[in-house]
Structures are given as structure tokens and as C-alpha cells.
Amino acid sequence: MPQRKAGIKELRKNYRKHMQNLDVKSDLKQTIKKFLASVKDKNKETANAELNLVYKKLDKATKRKMLKVNTASRRKSHYSKLLASIS
């Protein structure tokens, strides 16, 4: 536990940022699960809409430096191949 005022403020700030990052990560995971479920059901229209959301969430996570750029692009490529495999 920090003793100085600045350290206490820094701890509060880090906790808030940590909670925001958890929200973004969990939202991304939920969106990916929905997309994979629609791919498994072979529902192309729903999967296409979900893929757009996955792209959006991946870009947001990359912008916040929670994912590296290459990781996000690799995942985008993987998910688009999954969508293409439906048809």
C-alpha cells in the first residue's frame, strides 16, 4: 500500500484503468463467442454481422494497446477465413 498522496492517487488511477481494460477484454471475448456460435450454426447473415462487430472490438483493443497490431490482424484473417468456409 502506497504511503504518499501521489502514490495513492496513482493506485486509484491504475485500478480504474484496469477495470476499463477488463470491460473491453470481456466484451471482445463475448463478441467472438457469438461469432463462433453463428459460424457453428452455419448462419451466414448473422455471422457476417457478428464479424463486423468482432473487427470493431479488435480495432478498439488495438487502439488501447491491449493487443498488438499483428495479433489483431492475424485474428481478423482467421475469423474471415472461418466465415468464408461456411459458404
What the block records as the C-alpha cell of 15 is: 485500478
Which residue bears the cell 483493443? 61
Give 24-71 pLDDT, tens digit per residue: 999 999 999 999 999 999 999 999 999 999 999 999 999 999 999 999
Number of domains in the chain: 1
Domain span at residue 10 reads: 5-86
Calpha distance 8→14 (Å, rounded):
10
Residue 20 pLDDT > 90: yes
We report the CATH number of the domain holding residue 48 as: 1.20.58.110
pLDDT of residue 1: 86
Calpha distance 85→20 (Å, rounded):
34
Q: Average pLDDT of 14-25?
A: 96
Residue 87 pLDDT > 90: no
CB 83 within 8 A of CB 47: yes
pLDDT of residue 61: 95
Closest Cα to residue 44, out of 84, 2, 4?
84
